[in-house]
Chain A
Amino acid sequence: MLQKTRDNSLRPLRRALRLLWRGVREWCGDAAYEQYLRSRATQAPTEAHLSAEEFYVERVNRRYSRPNRCC
């Protein structure tokens, strides 16, 4: 019982930390492949998709072919 109340009181904090963690992963590109798979699953579920390695190489190639870092 005591355990449960403590859990409840920490819930908003845990949720905030989880969102922060997700935000950081999406910001730095760590979650890019998961986002890609999710997008493929909804947009084109029947088509074959790239492997994690293929996707990573393709992604950085595209990303660094146009201005993406500024002065």
Chain B
Amino acid sequence: MKRVFRIAVWTIVAVVGAGALAKIALHRGEPINAMWFVLAAVGCYLIAFRFYSAFLAARLLVLDDTRATPAERLDDGRDFVPTNKWVLFGHHFAAIAGPGPLVGPTLAAQFGYLPGTLWLIAGAIFAGCVQDFVILLFSIRRNGKSLGEMAREEVSRRGGFIAQIAVLAIMVILLGVVALVIVNALKSSPWATFTLAMTIPIAMLVGLYLRFVRPGRVLEASLLGVALVFFVVVAGQWVAESPSWAAAFTFSGVALTCALIAYGFAASALPVWLLLAPRDYLSAFIKAGAICCLAAGILFVRPNILMPPLTTFIDGNGPVFSGKIFPFCFITIACGAVSGFHSLISSGTTPKMILREGHARMIGYGAMLLESFVGVMAMVAACAMSPGVYFAINSPAGIVGSSAEAAAHTISGWGYALTASTMTDLARSVGETTLLNRAGGAPSLAVGMAQIFSSSIGGPRLLSIWYHFAIMFEALFILTVLDAGTRVGRFMIQELGGRVWKPFARTSWVPGMLIASALIVGMWGYFLYAGVVDPLGGINSLWPLFGIANQLLAAVALVVATTILIKMGRLRWLWVTVVPMIWLVIVTMTASYQKIFSANPRIGFLCFAQTLGTQILAGKIPPEKLADTRRIIFNQRLDAMVTAVLALMILVLIAEAIVQWYLLLSKRKPATLHETPYVATAWGENYSGLAHGDD
């Protein structure tokens, strides 16, 4: 009877999920309600988790709950801490969820809602979650080794080195592009700039409290900080309304660039407890709160999706970023569907805290499903505003013009009705002077979120507060990625430098620390600067570069996973990692090739450089812009080179892995796994890790 009931429930879930998916895929004409997106996504996730992840756990990975995990064997109360399943789920999710799944889908909405939504769901189920899950388990079985170490041991020394360089390169591009998202959200906005600037002293206050007043009492200190952050969001309005204060907090893109570079350097060089850690605590609380609010808002308001399923821009001429739906939709979505960066969290941090192997299914596979759902919500928020407004916010001035009239004229010409007064009224109602040409996804997502929130609480009167709350939320956790990433990048540079000259690797050596910090900040700062002065908005060239790098890292993780699976003799189920790996390689290689060699100057880096070069020769560039144009030409060539180097490195790694696979499969080489030997757990079946002592 129970069995029949279970079958009935899962059949209903499957039917509802499939029905909702069919509804959003085949729907034409009238606006469709956002609830269909929620139903389709949740239905697919439940089915995938119940069946596909169970299959992976039982057949591919053969999870063994009787095997003691590193947290039990090596418990040191610091890195190796046995942690309750749901607490670790929260940890892992907070670590993997960053700005990527919010920005990527917002940008990809220019193709219409359909391609992005389908890839968010399918990509997560068959690629992203699989990658996170298998890497997590392999790292658990190796005492929490990092992806780079696993690549070195299981593939080859060169493989490990390539993975390490790839991680550093991705970090640099990632930091450059997320910084650009902040700059585009803050430029000429005194309200947002003031709010974000104030979070720095607030974080320091929290840091001092946590160090000297009540050491380690994170909860109370963070709640105090969060209350102060809410206050400065509201106080930003008074700053924006006072002419003299507003002038003091109005900055150009280049000025903000310099400020961010200085901030990144300071965060990397200052003691962690003073700025970096407390900011991260604040950001974690606000992130969790804002994501819950967004979900609740969508369920409560149930907005209509005004964006069509497919726009005309699938042909590659989109204003937000250029390139056809294949491969650029998949490159742009990035983190919400599959993110190579997650393999760095799945190896190294989370495996040292996991209580049992069986928990890896919920934490590895499940947390990524939730991240994909965040991506779907971002897609809903972007598509719930009128398409004309969406394009006006996200298109660079070089394409739609910099005045509201020009933008309205151009965008209406594309078939998406927009009047100049819509844009000026909207800007006024959210407390900004202009919302035009703010490529990067953050402002349009904030408008979407503000519209959803203000329909539930406060109405139009609170629209401006909600908008700046959303901007603050995004900017705050982008800054967290920026400072945490800069610091980690600094350690990577010091480690690499230490191979050449030993003292450089000593993290406490001040000159080494300063040089490494300056190097990492200089590298991402350069990409940021290049993006800010780019006439096409920067996002157009940098976001695809980031997407390519991130997806390439995912391919690396899947190559490592496949090698380990071959050594484990799981040949029958090898397609589980091989199919997404091949897909990622095809997508990234096509995208890299097009970004470098395309004959369309809006896509191809080299072609754009050549076009500008011809214009200089023909005397079409006015003399005062000559130096700028030369610099843009240099930046385009640099971008082309970076793309080529990344693609080449990954091809070398894959070639290396294929040689290994051949040797292993033809038995020319013995399959030596580097797993730690089996040790039986001493914990009872009901041990949850949370209830120490009294329960």
Interface of A toward B, CB cutoff 8 Å? 15, 19, 22-30, 32-33, 35-40, 42-43, 51-53, 55-71
Given the known inter-chain contacts A28-B218, A70-B98, A70-B339, please indicate yes or no for A59 contacting B484, CB distance below 8 A: no
Contact in complex: A28, B488 (CB < 8 Å): no
In B180-203, the 8 Å CB interface with A consists of: none
Task: Classify the secondary structure of B's interface with A.
Answer: helix
Q: Is B83 an interface position by the 8 A CB rule?
A: yes
Q: How far is the CB of B665 from chain A (nearest CB, A)?
A: 33
A30 touches B217 (CB 8 A): yes
Give the residues in chain A near B271, CB-CB below 8 Å.
57
When distances are taken between beta carbons in the complex, the residues of chain A under 8 Å from B437 are: none
What residues on A are CB-neighbors of B285 within 8 Å? 28
Cβ distance A39 to chain B, nearest Cβ, rounded Å = 3
Complex contacts, A24 vs chain B, CB 8 Å: 219
Q: Is the CB of A55 within 8 A of B216?
A: yes
C-alpha spacing A27/B691, complex, angstroms = 14
What would be 9 A-B contacts, judged by CB atoms less than 8 Å apart?
A19-B690, A27-B94, A28-B285, A33-B215, A60-B277, A61-B273, A65-B507, A70-B97, A71-B99
Minimal Cβ-Cβ distance residue in B for A41: B77
Interface 1/0 per residue, B95-131 and A, CB below 8 Å: 1111110000000000000000000000000000000
Please give 18 more A-B residue pairs, beta carbons under 8 A apart, in addition to A39-B75, A67-B348, A70-B345: A27-B94, A29-B218, A35-B77, A36-B81, A38-B77, A42-B75, A43-B76, A60-B273, A62-B79, A64-B487, A65-B487, A66-B349, A67-B167, A68-B95, A68-B349, A70-B342, A70-B481, A71-B174
Query: Does B328 lie at the interface of the complex (its beta carbon under 8 Å from any beta carbon of A)?
Result: no
Distance between Cα atoms of A37 and B81 in the complex (Å): 11
| B491 in the interface (beta carbon within 8 A) | yes
> How many Å lie between the Cα of A45 and that of B195 in the bound state?
48
Closest 3 CB pairs of A and B: A39-B77, A36-B77, A71-B100
- The complex places the Cα of A14 from the Cα of B79 at a distance, in Å, of 31
Q: Given A32-B216, A69-B480, A70-B96, verify A22-B90 contact (CB < 8 Å).
A: no
**Cβ–Cβ contact A53 & B211, under 8 A:** yes
Q: List the interface of chain B (C-beta within 8 A of A).
A: 75-79, 81, 83-84, 86-87, 90-91, 94-100, 146, 167, 174, 178, 210-212, 215-220, 222, 271-273, 276-277, 280-281, 284-285, 334-335, 339, 341-342, 344-345, 348-349, 480-481, 484-485, 487-488, 491, 507, 546, 550, 690-692, 695
Inter-chain contacts of A39 with B (CB < 8 A): 75-77, 81
What's the least CB distance linking A68 to chain B, in Å? 6
**Is the beta-carbon distance between A43 and B98 smaller than 8 angstroms?**
no
A interface secondary structure, majority = helix
* A59 CA to B210 CA, complexed, in Å: 12
Chain A nearest Cβ from B142, distance in angstroms: 16
CB distance from B216 to the nearest CB of A (A): 4
A28 to B289 CA separation, bound complex (whole angstroms): 13
Q: Determine the chain B residues whose CB is within 8 A of the CB of A30 once the complex forms.
A: 216-220
- Report which of B100, B216, B276, B695 forms a contact with A29, defined as CB distance below 8 A: B216
**Which of A40, A55, A62, A70 is the most central at the interface, judged by chain B CB atoms within 10 Å of its CB?**
A70
Q: A28-B219, A43-B77, A62-B78 are in contact. Are A68 and B345 (CB under 8 A)?
A: yes
Find B272's partner among A19, A40, A61 (CB 8 Å cutoff).
Answer: A61
A23-B86, A38-B77, A71-B481 known; A52 vs B216 contact (CB < 8 Å)? yes
Give the distance to chain A from B409, nearest Cβ to Cβ, in Å: 36
Considering the chains assembled together, what is the distance between the CA atoms of A29 and B81 in angstroms? 12
When A28-B222, A64-B272 are in contact, do A52 and B91 touch as well, CB less than 8 Å?
A: no
- Which of B90, B345, B691 is close to A19, meaning CB atoms less than 8 Å apart? B691
Q: What residues of A have a CB within 8 angstroms of the CB of B487 in the complex?
A: 64-65
User: CA–CA, A24 to B218, complex, Å?
Assistant: 11
**A9–B477 alpha-carbon span in the complex (Å):** 42
- The chain A residue with its CB closest to the CB of B103 is A71
Contact A25 B219 (CB under 8 A): yes
Nearest A residue (CB) for B283: A69
In the complex, A71→B543 CA distance in Å?
12
Known: A61-B272, A63-B277. A53 touches B215 (CB 8 A): yes
Query: Smallest distance from the beta carbon of A49 to chain B beta carbons, Å?
Result: 9
How far, in Å, is A43 (CB) from chain B's closest CB? Answer: 6
Minimum CB–CB distance for B478 against chain A, Å: 9
B270 to chain A, nearest CB (A): 11
CA A30 to CA B198, docked complex, whole Å? 24
Q: How far is A51 from B216 in the complex, measured between Cα atoms in Å?
A: 11
Residue of B nearest to A53 (CB): B215
Choose among A23, A56, A71 the residue that contacts B273 (Cβ–Cβ < 8 A): A56
Residue of A nearest to B689 (CB): A26
Within 8 Å CB of B100, what residues of A? 70-71
Residues of the B chain whose Cβ atoms lie less than 8 Å from the Cβ of A63: 272, 277
**B691 → chain A closest CB, angstroms:** 7
Q: How far is the CB of B191 from chain A (nearest CB, A)?
A: 26
Chain B contacts for A70, CB-based, 8 A: 95-98, 100, 335, 339, 341-342, 344-345, 481
- Closest B residue to A24 by beta carbon equals B219
C-alpha gap A23/B349 in the complex (Å):
19
Would A64 and B211 be within 8 Å (CB), given that A27-B87, A30-B217, A70-B344 are in contact? no
Nearest-CB distance from A16 to chain B (Å)? 11
A33 to B91, CA, bound (A): 17
CB pair A36 B210 closer than 8 Å: no
Residues of A within 8 A of B212 (CB): 53
Residue of A nearest to B691 (CB): A19
